[in-house]
Amino acid sequence: DTAVSQTPKYLVTQMGNDKSIKCEQNLGHDTMYWYKQDSKKFLKIMFSYNNKELIINETVPNRFSPKSPDKAHLNLHINSLELGDSAVYFCASSRGFRTEAFFGQGTRLTVV
């Protein structure tokens, strides 16, 4: 069974649309994260959730919003998509902060 799963794997959409990327972990972890990997392959943290509370909210546009219906899920909603949002987005989870993180396979978002 996949420990951290993201859907969809690929997402192509037009500018201005609203889209969501789902993430689920079956590891019983308390902390989940969303990362954005830019064109230079550099990973930047966007959000992290610990026990359903947003702990870190980096300076990302408020068009991005994380939604955690329960401890096992952290979905990423993006409103009014822009060309610059095109990137690979990774979900991850860990038992807590400063513990080993397990990553999803990533979602390649292309905004056209």
Partner 1 sequence: KNEVEQSPQNLTAQEGEFITINCSYSVGISALHWLQQHPGGGIVSLFMLSSGKKKHGRLIATINIQEKHSSLHITASHPRDSAVYICAVNGDSNYQLIWGAGTKLIIKP
Q: Residue 102 Cβ, how far from partner 1 at the closest point, in Å?
A: 6
Quick one: which of 65, 72, 106, 110 contacts partner 1 (CB under 8 A)? 106
97 binds partner 1 (CB under 8 A): yes
Residue 62: partners with Cβ closer than 8 Å, 6 or more residues away:
none
Give the number of C-alpha atoms closer than 13 A to the C-alpha of residue 84, restricted to the C-beta side.
4
Nearest residue to 49 (alpha-carbon basis) of 72, 27, 78:
72
Residues 6 or more apart whose CB falls under 8 angstroms from that of 68 comprise 32, 49, 52, 74, 75
The amino acid occupying position 96 is G
Which CB atom, from 12 or from 15, has the smaller least distance to partner 1? 12
Q: How far apart are CB 97 and partner 1 at their closest, in Å?
A: 4
User: Which member of 20, 72, 103, 110 binds partner 1 (CB under 8 A)?
Assistant: 103
Bridging pattern class, strands 53-57 and 43-50: antiparallel
- 80 in contact with partner 1 (CB under 8 A): no
Site for partner 1 contains 101 (CB under 8 A) = yes
Q: Does 56 bind partner 1 (CB under 8 A)?
A: yes
Residues that bind partner 1 (CB under 8 A): 40-45, 48, 55-56, 88, 90, 92, 97-103, 105-106, 108
